[in-house]
């Protein structure tokens, strides 16, 4: 396929010049040469540029579908990344083997592709789950989760997943890797998980590994959702008892009228002490709220610093992230994880004495609208 003909199809002048300059610099006259370069070039930057031009040229779904079976993983990965949206549904069967690819990045791109196709792809995945064998059959289950979440599992598959989770809980190591923190969580001074579920008004708890619970929280917080979809507010991850504390990740009170300090005050009246912490992976936001016996003793939000009140001894010698005054130039900023480490537990590293296991539980939104979609890791 001639590069010149493909360049004429590119509407954006910047992208056309970028592709044209790369092709000229590499002496490329045919699209097949770009594919060969992706598979054979030893220069990582050349491979990166070739991958970009591979998609910029919009060679056509049939061309990219053929590339899904290429021997080299880079080509398969980039080909899978071109299939997005409901129009990709016609190529779903060609993408199926990639759900079982030996390369993680290829599997991930295929999984994302299925996730964008909508519910019409479910019959194919469910048929594959019934009739295929080995890795493709397992990949189909991941695809079902990505497209529609665990609510779309058959009773048999639900049983398989539950048994696997329970087996992994039994020998789980909680300190394998750091937990990615982005969002808010509550820390309650109690070992009574059932009481926490009741106080947070969440129901239908299912046992999960720490990896699965953390992945669910991050999936829900970062998911792209329409305004009328209930994703962040559908479920919460509640840990087992951890050094005398139980943590709740998520938004159990998302649609209520109470503020975070009011919720902390309410929870501390039940459990004696309740904290709320917040961290962001995308900007400088951090926050913490500490309540004891029904009274909030400290509230801080880096993005709403004018509303802060109270103080904590643990903050002495640190600078607050919003405060850029000269007297704080020599102070290191304090973050929610620093406060949590001193006053409760820091979930960045899930260490210490943990009793029982975590659960995913549904909020009222989850019970009405169902669990969020998205494939979730059970173990690392």
Q: How much is the pLDDT for 161?
A: 95
Sign of the alpha-carbon torsion through 55, 57, 60, 63: negative
Helix (H, G, I), strand (E, B) or coil at 319: strand
Q: What is the pLDDT of residue 47?
A: 95
What pLDDT score was predicted for residue 328?
Answer: 77
What are the φ/ψ torsions at residue 6 (nearest 5 degrees)? -70, -40
Q: Splitting the chain (380 residues) into consecutive groups of 10 residues, what average pLDDT does each group show?
A: 86 91 92 95 94 93 95 97 95 97 97 96 96 94 95 95 93 73 97 97 95 94 76 94 95 92 98 97 94 98 95 94 83 95 91 85 94 90
Contacts of 159 (CB under 8 A, 6+ apart): none
Supply the pLDDT for residue 91: 96
Distances, alpha carbon 80 to alpha carbons 70, 111, 121, 184, in Å:
11, 9, 16, 34
- Listing DSSP states for 60-88 in one string gives -HHHHHHHTT-SSHHHHHHHHHT--SGGG
For position 349, what pLDDT does the model report?
A: 84
DSSP for 111-143? HHHHHTS-GGGHHHHHHHHHH--HHHHHHHHHH
Burial class from Cβ neighbours inside 10 Å (0-12, 13-18, 19+) for residue 367 reads middle
Per-residue model confidence (pLDDT) at position 157: 95
Per-residue model confidence (pLDDT) at position 174: 60
């Amino acid at each position: 396929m001639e590069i010149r003909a493909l360049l004429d199809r590119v509407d954006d002048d910047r992208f056309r010049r970028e592709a044209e300059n790369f092709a000229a610099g590499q002496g490329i006259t045919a699209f097949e040469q770009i594919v060969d370069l992706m598979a054979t070039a030893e220069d990582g930057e050349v491979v990166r540029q070739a991958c970009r031009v591979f998609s910029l040229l919009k060679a056509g779904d049939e061309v990219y579908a053929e590339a899904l079976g290429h021997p080299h993983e880079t080509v398969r990965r980039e080909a899978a990344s071109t299939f997005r949206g409901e129009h990709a549904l016609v190529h779903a069967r060609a993408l199926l083997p990639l759900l079982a690819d030996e390369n993680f990045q290829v599997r991930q791109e295929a999984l994302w592709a299925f996730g964008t196709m909508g519910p019409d792809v479910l019959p194919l995945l469910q048929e594959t789950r019934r009739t295929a064998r080995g890795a493709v059959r397992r990949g189909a289950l991941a695809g079902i989760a990505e497209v529609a979440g665990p609510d779309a599992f058959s009773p048999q598959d639900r049983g398989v997943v539950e048994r696997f989770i329970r087996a992994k809980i039994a020998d789980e190591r909680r300190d394998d890797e750091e937990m990615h923190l982005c969002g808010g969580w509550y820390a309650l001074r109690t070992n009574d998980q059932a009481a926490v579920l009741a106080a947070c008004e969440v129901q239908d708890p299912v046992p999960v590994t720490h990896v699965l619970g953390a992945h669910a929280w991050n999936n829900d917080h970062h998911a792209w959702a329409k305004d009328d979809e209930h994703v962040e507010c559908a479920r919460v991850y509640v840990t087992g008892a951890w050094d005398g504390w139980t943590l709740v990740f998520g938004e159990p009170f998302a649609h209520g009228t109470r503020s975070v300090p009011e919720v902390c005050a309410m929870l501390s009246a039940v459990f004696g002490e309740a904290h709320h912490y917040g961290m962001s992976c995308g900007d400088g936001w951090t926050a913490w709220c500490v309540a004891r016996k029904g009274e909030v003793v400290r509230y801080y939000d880096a993005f709403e610093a004018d509303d802060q009140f109270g103080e904590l001894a643990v903050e002495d010698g640190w600078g607050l992230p919003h405060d850029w005054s000269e007297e704080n130039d020599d102070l290191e900023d304090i973050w929610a994880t620093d406060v949590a480490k001193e006053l409760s537990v820091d979930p960045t590293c899930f260490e210490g004495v943990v009793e029982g296991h975590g659960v995913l539980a549904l909020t009222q939104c989850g019970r009405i609208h169902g669990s969020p979609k998205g494939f979730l890791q059970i173990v690392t």
